[in-house]
Structure 1
């Protein structure tokens, strides 16, 4: 008896079936037109044989004119059916590829992350190349059917001339497909491995580009290059393997197809020599032997493309059917509210416990950078509640029982390395275009000099990742975006590490003023931000070890003084 796992269909197959069901109308129309195209191609040598047969008996101009008209009609049918058939299929293919790209992107952008052991570069490859190859099944099936129509029409026509010719085509085609279907499995497994290695190389490139400046800063760019070169070389070797397998497949297919065509031609010649078929039938047989090379080649290529589509579909399934890392609750936090960390143990945090009342501005001085990152990850809900011990409460509600979308609307956690997107200053500060706090956020983050520096002001163009901005400008732009959101609870992680001391002092004062009456938490070692806060919590070795104002701590805690004084 089969286990439930073996009874359940493979996700890759489900994706292919879904694509086929969704495009059944377009595929039916494309199949009819492509079948008409192949039938017209097949009819050409048949008509040529019949014309030769009848022209030898009736040598009139009328018979010649009819023959030319018939050939013109066949050629017109072939041309128009190919044109419109491929238009339908390629439109459906492109549309289906777009749908899968959007599906993969949607999964990657969900508030609740999926349990996928893939890097962003690998997901990008799946959303592009694999989506395209999966959608190719929309063209593969109609072309497969139309090629089968052509081979069947040719076999029937040859069989009417002599049954041995028809059987030769049918048996030869079955033999060719049997051999190639075995070889196509090797292509499928090799292609899956190649796609995985290329995706890993892409992920490595994305990581290196993101961290290019820090790498140059400490001289690690050469080691990073060697690391990428190793991954890229592995991808290259696998690509060569796939190319060799594809070459062997194509060469074998061409050899078998040519052998069948030669066999039909020689057999027809022998039959004509012995008077078993007429000259017209010989012309038809020779023409069909040449013609069936194309549908046979297309027919024999289809198993390869099916395996490639299936391999890509299985890679997409890694993203699409992966379960979420957590199942969030349905509740929403109340407006305003406080923030409470109750005996949280995660990473470097151990029994961390503190509370920030509604409306208070609290700074957290963290002695270990890893602990700051762990705390920010928990508050940003990038770490699911089930992955750590203890409880986080927002407005008195446990985080595990709240909708993640609602939590992120209520509590914004701005990371120290916030992304800058291609667009303008305005679209980076207010992506949704709905904030009423843009002028105040620009003023508070001291981004006014950047706005004033350019004629376009807030509409000044920003390149991808803020490549045309300095480090300090990018950090202030990210801070302006966080302030413009005007969240009930705002958590800032090292928002001023790339700005000068004078600007940092002004920003600290501005944040305190702008966020007056709103709950604000700043994880920082900046003396300016620590001094602007209502209260400072000292986080050392994963627990809160001290709590007071910045100035009192400077006067009474030597270790704190050494850690934050500049």
Structure 2
């Protein structure tokens, strides 16, 4: 696999039983790239390690006054230089290719898992952890996969040089052959502690990233309540914890690096001292002493890769473990499904709650618990169901039995906090769609006129609003503007069933009334389910369903339910179900009667009904 061939047609099925097994699986799937990188590494390191033999041969030729052997030594030196240049160039190319392709494979696996799990991913894994795994951890995993081939080439080169020195000069060669393994393994006892410190640093960095992402996401709210300084202090403390952990980790790695410098120096001193004694005794020549000395000097270069592979493994193993943890998450149902991939049509029905949404109608769902409403909305879209629940049916077909793509093509769920990706508005609205809804019609139905004006004014060169750029997550826009753009994107998709979870919670009542009219008109003849407690949206629905404590408690029209169903009225009007206070008036503020939709308090039951009828008349006028 080359970089230009990315992305992978199929990244494969990873072994996620542990971080080490995941790393092994990645390396095994890049065996061709690893072999190429190791081959070029062997050429490079062997050429580097052969230079001392050429130098020693040349020195001895000078001592013996042999011009022929000196010329041969020069030719061999030139050949080594060519091998060094060619090997280093293609080693770097192959190693970087391994790094990028491994990182790309992991990113594809993470992206595939995110699409399979949908919004359930961030409920099972913290958002900051997902960000950290898909960015920093991916690079560390790629680093280890890339370093393995270079380390293998370096290790083979060290073995070859030791064997060559023993054959070339047994007395000094044995000293080097015994000393080099000691150098290579000297830092091994320190690795567990270094790994633990690296793990701690990564954990603290993940918590800081999560805190930062949560703070940025809620920046507007923090500014509104004056909580910026509080969260800034929290992030400062988290950042300082990361810095302290990084310093402690760096100290350990600096100690390992110092050992890797000190021990080769001691070996070099021992070789020189012993070699001088042998030369005085006439047991070795000057050229042989220079060769062994130079070989020990040069071997410090491939030995550095022993330290690098230790660092790469220590940093990548926890990263691989976290990535494997995310990739091991599974849906409660098979993504391939057990039915054909045909997109079904018909009524939408949830057997657990009894919720029924007729085909081609606008059904509004009122639920007093926003979290329960969000979970029910996701279940209607075929997302992983909770334990003990049954599948939602569309036209009598269980969504869990459909392939994931077919289920999501049939039912689109827009949650209460939709995400806007950065790019132009045209790119944002370029989504898989039926083609029956034009972008401008969807923008008009979602009341995005002021949003388009704001985008054009904020852009320097966009004459067409669709060419205006949207910042990351649309943070330059207000919450209501982001919500309306997300609604327009959902309307363009024009699915068989559209499920909207609180689509107008961040807009004013006048805009909300126009959105209710636009959505009702644009979705005529299509099945639409809206989770809301807004009277303006509820009044536009063909039918309204009250879900109370996980079951359908009432079905009807909005006006009817307001007058006849106290639980519905309590949710929609924010009124409690307690009886009004006595005529003598409350003794404490907490005993005060609730304010009705018409603005009255302490009224009798008959007065309450009259107040609700007045509220309905106001709704009619507004709509």
- The TM-score with structure 1 as length reference comes to 0.87
**Residues 322-337 of structure 1 mapped to structure 2, 5 A cutoff:** 322-327=329-334, 329-331=337-339, 335-337=344-346
Whether 2:329 is the aligned partner of 1:312: answer: no
8 Å Cα contact 2:414-2:500 kept in structure 1: yes
Q: Which residue pairs with 2:443 in the alignment?
A: 442
Which 4+ runs in 1 deviate beyond 6 A?
none
Whether the 8 Å contact between 2:57 and 2:73 is mirrored in structure 1 is no
Cα distance change, pair 298–429 in 1 and its aligned pair in 2 (3 A): closer
Identify which of 203, 218, 231 aligns with 1:224.
Answer: 231
CA-to-partner distance for each residue in 1:501-539, whole Å, 9 max, x for gaps? 222222212222222222222222222212212233344
The residue aligned with 1:77 is: 83
**In structure 1, distance between residues paired with 2:299 and 2:91:** 20
Cα displacement (A) at 1:54:
1.9
Question: CA 1:271–1:396 in 2, change beyond 3 Å: closer, same or farther?
Answer: same
TM-score by length of 2: 0.79
Note the 1:378-527 alignment, pairs <5 A: 378-382=379-383, 384-389=384-389, 392-432=392-432, 435-438=435-438, 439-451=440-452, 454=456, 455-527=463-535
Shift of 1:423: 1.9
Q: Distance in 1 between matches of 2:329 and 2:507?
A: 41
Alignment partner, residue 6 of structure 2 = none
Instruction: State which of 32, 35, 40 in structure 2 corresponds to 1:25.
Output: 32
Deviation at 1:239? 2.0
CA distance in structure 1 between the partners assigned to 2:133 and 2:377 by the alignment: 30
Q: Assess if the C-alpha contact under 8 Å between 2:433 and 2:495 holds in 1.
A: no
| 2:261 aligned to which of 251, 254, 264 | 254
Partner of 1:338: 347
Unaligned 5+ runs, structure 2: 1-14, 457-462, 576-596, 598-614, 616-623
Once the two structures are superposed, the pairs formed by residues 114-133 of structure 1 within 5 Å of their partners are: 117-133=124-140
Q: How far 1:32 sits from its partner (Å)?
A: 2.8
Quickly say closer, same or farther: Cα 1:554–1:524, change in 2 above 3 A.
same
CA contact (8 A) 2:382 2:391 kept: no
- Say which is worse superposed, 456-465 or 153-162, in terms of deviation: 153-162
1:142 and 2:149 aligned: yes
The aligned residue for residue 200 of structure 2 is 193
Aligned-residue offset at 1:547: 3.7
Number of residue-to-residue matches in the alignment: 549
Are the counterparts in 2 of residues 367 and 563 from structure 1 also a CA contact under 8 Å? no
> Which residue in 2 is equivalent to 1:5?
none
Residue in 1 aligned with 2:188? 181
Q: Tell me whether 31-40 or 445-454 shows the greater mean CA deviation.
A: 445-454
Please state how far the C-alpha of 1:434 moved relative to its aligned partner.
5.8
Map 1:25-104 → 2, pairs under 5 A: 25-58=32-65, 64-104=70-110
Work out whether residues 115 and 322 of structure 1, in 8 Å CA contact, stay in contact via their aligned partners in 2.
Answer: no
Judging changes above 3 Å, is the alpha-carbon distance between structure 1 residues 260 and 429 closer, same or farther for their aligned structure 2 residues? same
Query: Match for 1:294 among 288, 301, 312?
Result: 301
User: What is the RMSD computed on CA atoms of the aligned residues?
Assistant: 3.0
**Structure 1 residues 300, 263: closer, same or farther in 2, change over 3 A?**
farther
- SS of residue matched to 2:426: helix
Distance, in Å, in 2 between the alignment partners of 1:522 and 1:404 is 22
Against the structure 1 CA distance between its residues 511 and 26, is the aligned structure 2 distance closer, same or farther, given a 3 Å change threshold?
A: closer
Give the unaligned 5+ runs of structure 1: 1-7, 345-351
Q: Which residue of 1 aligns with 2:574?
A: 563
Local SS of the residue matching 1:322: coil
Cα offsets for 1:453-508 (capped at 9, x unmatched): 63212222211111232322212111111222222222222222222322222221
Classify the secondary structure of the residue corresponding to 1:358: coil
Deviation string for 1:159-210 (max 9, x for gaps)? 3454231111111122233332232233333333333332232222222222
The equivalent of 1:4 in structure 2 is none
Distance in structure 1 (CA, Å) of the matches to 2:73 and 2:128: 60
Counterpart of 1:347? none
Contact 2:16 2:325 in 1 (8 A): no
Partners in 1 of 2:441 and 2:152 — Cα distance? 65
CA separation of 1:238 and 1:506: change in aligned 2, threshold 3 A = same
